[in-house]
Amino acid sequence: MSLVEVENLTIRFGNKSVVEQVSFRLDRGETLALVGESGSGKSLTALSLLQLQPPGAMVSGRVTLDGLDTLTADAARLQSSRGGVAGMIFQEPMTSLNPLMRIGQQVREAMELHRTLTQAEAQIQAVDLLREVGFPDAIDRLDAFPH
């Protein structure tokens, strides 16, 4: 069984189809690049895998993620897959963190939701992750705002 299977994915907004009949498979350990012009539907395709498309989008076709049909899954099953099985790295770093929340709070929140960690465990891992990505003063950055 493939890790990701997309069959005939179509995304519409009203009568306008923005993604039509996209199909692909991705096995564990493989890398896939979605390539196309700006506005061609790459981001919508990726977002639809985890049911993160914008309001008003009508999605049809079949999307399975590690055996879970994400287009019909309930909120609890989707939540466990987001961050547990799959995650997103968004292309625009300036919009990835909420400017009204402190960095540590945002990193801890993601780990608490997806890894069932206590707040103390998440705090330790947040510092480790910030160090891993190059913050030498990681412990001090936890209480800072992204800007």
pLDDT tens-digit profile of 9-30? 999 999 999 999 999 999 988 9
User: What pLDDT does 63 receive?
Assistant: 93
Q: Does residue 12 share a domain with residue 83?
A: yes
User: What pLDDT does 115 receive?
Assistant: 67
Q: Find how far residue 85's CA is from the centre of its chain.
A: 10
Q: Does residue 64 share a domain with residue 28?
A: yes
Q: Does residue 37 share a domain with residue 13?
A: yes
The answer, as to whether pTM is greater than 0.85, is no
User: What pLDDT does 74 receive?
Assistant: 85
Number of domains in the chain: 2
Record the tokens describing residue 34, joined without a space. 């979605």
In a domain, 25, yes or no: yes
Q: Does residue 46 share a domain with residue 60?
A: yes
User: What pLDDT does 81 receive?
Assistant: 78
- Residue corresponding to tokens 């009568």: 15
In the chain, which stretches have pLDDT less than 50?
Answer: none
Q: Does residue 112 share a domain with residue 72?
A: no
User: What pLDDT does 147 receive?
Assistant: 81
Q: Does residue 109 share a domain with residue 125?
A: yes
Domain residue limits at 33: 4-88
Q: Does residue 80 share a domain with residue 101?
A: no
In a domain, 147, yes or no: no
Q: How many CB atoms lie within 10 A of CB 101?
A: 12
In a domain, 60, yes or no: yes
Cα–Cα distance measured from residue 51 to residue 57, given in angstroms and rounded to the nearest whole number: 10
In a domain, 146, yes or no: no
- From 70, 88, 106, the end of a domain falls on 88
In a domain, 78, yes or no: yes
Neighbour-count burial of 47, counting CB atoms closer than 10 A to its CB (0-12 exposed, 13-18 middle, 19+ buried)? middle
Number of H helices, E strands in the chain: 5, 4
Residues 117-143 as b/e (b if ≥16 CB within 10 A, e otherwise) read: beeeebbebbbeebeeeebeebeebbe
Residue 144, C-beta contacts closer than 8 angstroms, at least 6 positions apart: 102, 103
